Every structure is written in C-alpha cells, then in structure tokens.
Structure 1
Amino acid sequence: MGTDIDTLATKSSWGQRPEASLPEAKAAGEADSGHVARPVGLRTRLIGQLASFGLVGGLAFVVDLAVYNAVRATVLQDSPIWSKVVSVAVATAFAWLGNRYLTFRRERSPHAVREGVLFAVVNVVGLLIAAGCLFVSHYVLGFTSQLADNISGNGVGLVLGTAFRFAAYRWLVFSPRSRTLRVPRSARRIVRLDTGGPS
C-alpha cells in the first residue's frame, strides 16, 4: 500500500516544474518583457521627437515670416536681403531654443555655446542641401520653370534638408555623448567610505 502511494505521488509530480525554478522563470519573463519594452519605448520616444521637431520647425517658419515682414516694413525698408538675414537668424535662434528645451530636452548638453555653434553649422548644411537640389535641377538638368524650381528647392530640397537636420540634431548636436557625466558628490563620498579612501 505504501508503495502504491509513493508511485501515485511520483506520477502526480511528473510534468510539474520544481518550486525552485519559479524565480528563474520569473526572471526570464522579466528579461523577455524588457527586450520587448525597450524597442517600443525607443520607437515611442522617436515619434515624440519627430512630432516636437515638426512643431518647432513650423513655429520657426512663422517667426521667420513675421520678423522678415516687420523688419522689412520698418528699419530695413530698402534692404530685403538684410531683412531676410535678420529673420533667418532670429528663426534659427528660436529653433535652437525650441529643440534644446522641448524636442531634445533630455539629451541637451551643458555646453550651450558649443551646441549652438553645431546647431548653426547643421542649419547651414541643410540650407546648402536645398540649394544644391535647386542648382542641379535648374542648371544641370535644365528644368528652368518656376514650378520645377519650387519642386526641387521647396519640395525635394526641403525634405532632404529637414531629414538631414533632424538626424544631425539627434545624433550630433544633442547627442548624449556630448553631455558631461558627473558623479554626484554624495555618491563619491559613499564610494570613498566603502573603499576606505580619504574623504
């Protein structure tokens, strides 16, 4: 009789995982969910950055337009070129602040001057990309109509220049590598106490 009971107990335990393996299964499950959550989080963050980047760009366009017309109608009535230079400079500064404190607020560098210079350089390159598309279309391919100029300069050139600016902002101007990582003073004190070093 005792042997039958032992046999039934052994059979009932077949197909069941030991209790000791439950923490391992839980850890494995958390690891799997972490691998799934990380790409989803990165994708969500990228979408948010793209939306914010578009918003800042749209507002910068409005600033450019408003400043140009205001300056052109007042202090620089006879200087349309310099009016445009002033409006572009103001709009670029606005775009830098908007992207620094909104789009890439988590990645911004403590070195604001260096970041601002990189931002300006990236915008100049973006402008050259748009101008290059217009040059190729107008002077190389021979599409000289106003429609062709708008398609190449304000269509293809704008899209390529904007894509370049966003990529450069994200991976160069506001790159996490550009931040100075400093250990908090309290953390340094704890490390010194643990290692027996001087406080």
Structure 2
Amino acid sequence: MSRSAAQQHTRRAGAFLVIGGLAFLVDFAVFNLLAFWVTGHGPLYDQPVIAKTIAIVLASAVTYVGNRYWTFNDRHLPHRWSRYVLFVLFNLIAIGLQLGCLAFSRYVLQLEGPLPDNISGTLIGQALATVFRYLTYDRFVFPHHEQPQESDQGAPVSSAP
C-alpha cells in the first residue's frame, strides 16, 4: 500500500470512527431514554429489544448521512438503488448483531438493568456491528468507482475500439 493510500485509509477510518461515535451517542441516549428514562424504568423497560431497535434505526440514519457525505465523500458513486438496498441489508445484519448481544445478556444470562444492557447491547453489540459496517460499507455500499474520463467534446472516453 502506498503512503498516499495509507493516509487516505487512515483518514477514512478516522472519519468513520467519528461518525460511529455520533451514532453511538444517538443509540445510547435513545435506548436509555426509552428503556430506563430518569426513574430507572422507562416506557420500554420490559421490551429492551424494541427500545434498542428504535435507537439503532435512528443511529443508522446518522451513519448513512455521515459516511456518505464525509467518510466516503471522495468516491464517485453513481446513483443506484442497489446501494440503498445493500445499506439496509447490511444494517439489518448489524442490528441483528447488536440485538443478539442484548437479548443473550437479558434473556439467557438473566442480566437486567442499565449497566448490563448497555455493556451488552451498546458497547459489545455496537463494537461488533461497527466493524461489520466498516467492512461492508467500504466494499459494497460506498465502493470506489473511477469517474469516466471525458474527451474534449464532453463524451466519455471508451477504452474499447
């Protein structure tokens, strides 16, 4: 990997982590308001998976906008519906990772409350989901496509005769 490519990868990874940090804050705040509110028992205390799903969906909107317009802003991305489909598909898988961690902690290990729910669903689950998202967004959702070169007349230059 060339020095320029390494610098670009480092910049992209840093931007991804900043966006992920913002999404983490959205996820954390929304989940805790819904599940624990101020009194310890929020409106969705007995339904933490639903509270976490709502939080993740809102945080996913933050990640899409941030990653599309900042992390991967240097990439020429032709408008394709398949990109949105892939984004939704990969986010459903990432949501499954987060919810799986929360559900395992809450229903299998019988750990309940703000600390175990946030460790399992918000810290561990989101760490796994973030790694998954970075790998899939970079390769599939926001792939690098070369911009077509234009000739003097403005028509794309074709490499085939």
TM-score (norm 1): 0.54
CA 1:170 to 1:156, structure 2 compared with 1: closer, same or farther past 3 Å? same
Task: Give the superposed CA RMSD.
Answer: 3.7
Query: What's the CA shift for 1:187?
Result: 8.6
**Larger Rg, first or second structure (1 or 2):** 1
Query: What's the CA shift for 1:131?
Result: 1.0
- Secondary structure, counterpart of 2:152 in structure 1: helix
AA aligned to 1:154 is T
Q: Given that residues 56 and 95 in structure 2 are in contact (C-alpha distance below 8 angstroms), is that contact kept between their aligned partners in structure 1?
A: no
Deviates more, 1:94-103 or 1:112-121: 112-121
Which one of 94, 101, 111 corresponds to residue 144 of structure 1?
111
Cross-structure match for 1:43? 6
- Secondary structure, counterpart of 2:120 in structure 1: helix
Paired with 2:59 and 2:106, the residues of 1 have a C-alpha distance of: 28
- Secondary structure, counterpart of 2:9 in structure 1: helix
Structure 2 unmatched runs, 5+: 34-42, 45-49
**What is the aligned length?**
141
- Secondary structure, counterpart of 1:185 in structure 2: coil
Show the 5 A alignment for 1:23-62.
38-61=1-24
Q: Given that residues 56 and 99 in structure 1 are in contact (C-alpha distance below 8 angstroms), is that contact kept between their aligned partners in structure 2?
A: yes
Structure 1 unmatched runs, 5+: 1-37, 70-78
Query: What's the CA shift for 1:125?
Result: 1.3
- In terms of fraction of residues, the more helix-rich structure is 1
Cross-structure match for 2:97? 129
Cross-structure match for 1:23? none
1:159 equivalent to 2:127? Answer yes
TM-score (norm 2): 0.64
Q: Given that residues 20 and 130 in structure 2 are in contact (C-alpha distance below 8 angstroms), is that contact kept between their aligned partners in structure 1?
A: no
Paired with 1:130 and 1:137, the residues of 2 have a C-alpha distance of: 11
Query: What's the CA shift for 1:109?
Result: 1.6
Cross-structure match for 1:182? 148
Show the 5 A alignment for 1:87-126.
91-126=59-94
Percentage identity across paired residues of the two chains: 32
Paired with 1:43 and 1:93, the residues of 2 have a C-alpha distance of: 28
Query: What's the CA shift for 1:154?
Result: 1.7
CA 1:93 to 1:185, structure 2 compared with 1: closer, same or farther past 3 Å? farther
Q: Given that residues 110 and 180 in structure 1 are in contact (C-alpha distance below 8 angstroms), is that contact kept between their aligned partners in structure 2?
A: no
